[in-house]
Amino acid sequence: MSLLQIILIAVALSMDAMAVSIGTCTRRNPPSAKTMLLMAASFGVFQAGMPLLGYGLGRAGAGLVQFADHWIAFGLLAFVGGKLLWEGFQAHHDDEDSDVSGNISWRTLLLLSVATSIDAGAVGISLSLIASPILIPSLMIGVITFALSWLGGRFGKLLGEKMGKAAEILGGLVLIGIGVKILLEHLG
For residue range 138-161, list pLDDT tens digits in order. Answer: 999 999 999 999 999 999 888 877
If pLDDT is split at 50, 70 and 90, which confidence band does 87 have?
low
Kindly report the average pLDDT of the chain as a whole number: 80
Q: Residue 66: its pLDDT value, please?
A: 62
For residue range 98-148, list pLDDT tens digits in order. Answer: 444 467 888 889 988 998 888 788 788 777 877 778 999 999 999 999 999
Single-letter residue type at 109: L
Radius of gyration of the chain (CA): 16
pLDDT at 65 over 70: no
Single-letter residue type at 69: D
Distance CA 158, CA 154 (A): 6
pLDDT at 171 over 50: yes
Q: Residue 78: its pLDDT value, please?
A: 75
Picking from 20, 52, 51, the residue whose alpha carbon sits closest to that of residue 150 is 20
Whether residue 174 contacts residue 81, with contact meaning beta carbons closer than 8 Å, is answered with yes
Picking from 63, 56, 18, the residue whose alpha carbon sits closest to that of residue 153 is 18
Q: Residue 101: its pLDDT value, please?
A: 47
CA atoms within 13 A on the CB side of 71: 4
